[in-house]
Structure 1
Amino acid sequence: MSRRPKVRYLLLHAYGRGGTIRTVMNQANSLVAAGWDVELVSTVRRRDGVQFPLDPRVRVTTLVDLRESAHEEPPAGPLARLRDCRRRRRLGRPAREIPRGEFGYRYFNRHVEDTVAAYLRTLTDGVLVTTRPALNFLASAHATGGVVRVAQEHMNHGTHRPDVRARILQAYPRFDAVAVLTERDRGEYARLLPGTRVVRIPNAVHSLDQTPSDHQSHIVAAAGRLFPQKGFDLLIPAWAKLVESHPDWQLRIYGSGEKKAELRALIEE
């Protein structure tokens, strides 16, 4: 009997809520239904359960458990206390391999980085799919034991900061494939990475069998994290121009994040 093909998805936090997490779980559900052996590997964990529908046949494992419940009991024995002390020190040190311009940089420190690198060095089979620049960079350097490496890009290349774009040029040619969301991204990455296989895999929806809007409500909804890369700071002034000629239309923005006060001030302006 042949072994089932194996694929591992490495996420920053599989227990969070976000577009990348949702679309990866959609992919995982489809692959496990098609007979693949699928595992989601969460770099960090802060919640008890996943937030999106996930087939029970998909395994979920964690590399760095940051829940308070995971460290309630004090380490027993001198060796365990020494390891815990070293872990705490590394948690307070900045990452070495992740550029500061990576939008998820604040989630990485020396302990997280070292733990991910150690895990990647153990892989010798199957397909590894990494899902953001920081994880792609680590996989390019450390997942060298024969695993097939696929880098997913969930953002337009021009949205990345200069230090991230520079690292992409160095790291991504080592991948067996780079997967992007749009045809424009495919063309851009193919131009930047000659000789690298770049494929377009759009985010999937569950069904197109839905009733489209009749536009009678004159309301546009935008949802997402209120962070710089989401572009709400571009949407708001664009909407201000639109309502000059369509004053009966309304924009509603749903989300939370560090830019909320700044965006509110922009709306008032």
Structure 2
Amino acid sequence: MASTGKVAIVTGSATGLGATCAIDLAEKGWNIAINYTKSKKEADETYAAVTAKGVEAILVQANMGEDADCRRLAAETMKKWGRIDGLINNAGTTKFQAQGDLEGVTPEDFDIIFRVNVTGPYMMSRAVYPAMKKQWEEKQERGSIVHVSSIAGVMGIGSSIPYGCSKGALNTLTLALARQLAPAVRVNTICPGFIQTRWLLGGLGEENYNKLKESQEQSAPLRQAGTTEQMAEAALFFLTSASNITGEFLIVDAGTHLGMLPMKPR
């Protein structure tokens, strides 16, 4: 598809959900700023997949926990295209904590996780806001920001306590930014449940990952374990379609938040 001229930044887009969002947006004709911290090889692969869709892309190595890097990512995007229409704040981090092991995370873990998962999306939103505000004032073209939160921020579950707390804070940040950046920018959030990703597999280990995946497929109301494609579909709905929606959270977890159903017989 030929480029529409629209531009999006997708943080943490070398792998997983971020990569899927970047590729799916490219399929819709958006030019993409691909961001990575360490995964250069995977970022190159995402770049190739994005540009194969007939659009333009740039690769920017930047740490989303550093304000200077956030501002540089926005600046390099503006230098390339002169506009920013969308931002998906996907980059995140965690530390895996065993159930009941309160000594398993430290105050420093809280600092790092909140820095990337909460302060990072704030800094990135702040970095792109001037461009989006200018487009609104000059062309009545409204920007769109989507945060990638988690069901952990709604239910207090997940890989660790600080991770769940950070995602709850990110949900609150969504409300605050939706108020403060209106009417120039819409701000919304998706809250994924289980997603089949290398990141989760690496954190849980193969045995625990497979057990959790099977549990989702057997007892989640929709009887399925989420994919990056399903999560990206929700993120792109907010980014590209939901023109009259701001300040909303969308839980995307196969209905897990409703309560697990009895396991299906084998």
Q: Common fold, TM-score beyond 0.5?
A: no
Q: TM-score range by the shorter chain?
A: 0.3 to 0.5
Q: Which has the higher contact order (CA 8 A, sep 6+)?
A: 2
Of Structure 1 and Structure 2, the greater helix share is in 2
Q: TM-score, normalised by structure 2?
A: 0.42
Greater Cα radius of gyration, structure 1 or 2: 1
Q: TM-score, normalised by structure 1?
A: 0.42
